A = this chain, B = another copy of it.
Amino acid sequence: MPSLRDVAEQAGVSVSTASIALRHDTRVKESTRRRVLSVAEEIGYRPNGAARDLKSRRTGMIAILLHDLGGPFYSELLRGVSTRAQANGLTALVCTSALDRGGELTRLLREKRVDGAIILDSSISEDDILEVASPSLPLILLDRQIQHPNLYSVLCDHRSGAYMATLHLIDAGYRDIGIILGPSDSHHSHLREEGALQACRLRQCVPRPDHIWHGAFTESSGYQLVDSVLASDDVPRAIFVANDEMAVGLMRGLLERGVRIPDDVALAGFDDIRITQYVSPPLTTVRQPMYELGILAADTLMRALRGDEDITPIVLQTELVVRGSS
């Protein structure tokens, strides 16, 4: 409630002096500075963020836009981003769009209540992104690329991850490969499909078309696919599943039918979500370096905020994690 003006009056100085005194500026005499500080303390002065932001044209805050918090690795991502944000004196906020369609875009980005943002949310349209990006609001896109001077990209190499996982299955002796993908309009699904097929081509064991299925990237969709998979006259000996959620669901279904893993069917997933370590057998999967992704995304944002205009995309490699399912 008390404003800088109240502090100034009670300390017997002008508002401008009070302002710089609070910022420990050397231009004020030590004695006045102490006086201002003690008055501020005494009357419970708190700077008003809105006023400061308005005048200084920066907020000291950055946003991380996610679709929802359910994602398994968001905590690691955020840890990476926070680390760097704090080192640069910024505060990182997380905002989800799943339930607040557009609200967060308007409040945070359109109305510039943050200095920049990191976006990992394929449900936000390209148009919306293009609309809000500006020289004073650089955006870092994760796992997505849009050509624009104020859009920077940090990508994970999903293709090579899927390639490694599939190659691993093949080279473990399972030449009869099946593939379970996500929704056909999913960019990630598409990339992972390409990687998997590339490995198959290399080893000359491209799966039959009816050994490629599509799920919804959810556990239950994986579970439901078990019928289709087992219905095949010639069940594949190994399956690359394009994400762990589906892989876990499928695994549950297979075990219920008495299929032994990896003896009857080997599995590999993608994402390295936490439960992959706890299912039995533990699931072979592909890890995305989310912490590093956060670090790089934040660093890129800092660069952008400093005016760096190099928008060359940064690509991170994934890591194959071999466990009992293969």
Contact = CB atoms under 8 A, between A and B. Distances in A.
Interface string A43-83: 00011111111100001110100001110001100110011
A69 B98 CA distance: 17
A117 interface: no
A255 to B, nearest CB: 10
A96 interface: yes
B110 A46 contact: yes
Interface stretch (A147-155, A158-166, A200-208, A274-282): A274-282
B100 A92 contact: yes
A297 interface: no
Contact of A48 (B48, B52, B54): B54
**Copies of this polypeptide in the complex:** 2
Given A50-B53, A59-B50, A78 B91 contact: no
A85 interface: yes
B93 A93 contact: yes
A75 B78 CA distance: 14
Interface of A: 1, 46-54, 59-61, 63, 68-70, 74-75, 78-79, 82-83, 85-86, 91-96, 98-100, 103-104, 107-108, 110-113, 134, 136, 248, 274-275, 278-280
25 contacts: A46-B111, A46-B112, A47-B111, A49-B111, A50-B59, A52-B111, A53-B113, A54-B54, A61-B107, A69-B69, A79-B99, A82-B98, A82-B99, A86-B99, A86-B100, A91-B95, A91-B100, A91-B107, A91-B108, A93-B93, A93-B94, A248-B278, A274-B274, A274-B275, A280-B280
7 smallest CB-CB distances across A and B, nearest first, come from A49-B111, A69-B75, A50-B53, A50-B54, A94-B94, A82-B99, A49-B113
Given A68-B75, A92-B100, 12 more contacts: A1-B136, A47-B110, A49-B53, A54-B54, A59-B113, A63-B93, A68-B78, A70-B75, A91-B107, A92-B95, A274-B275, A278-B278
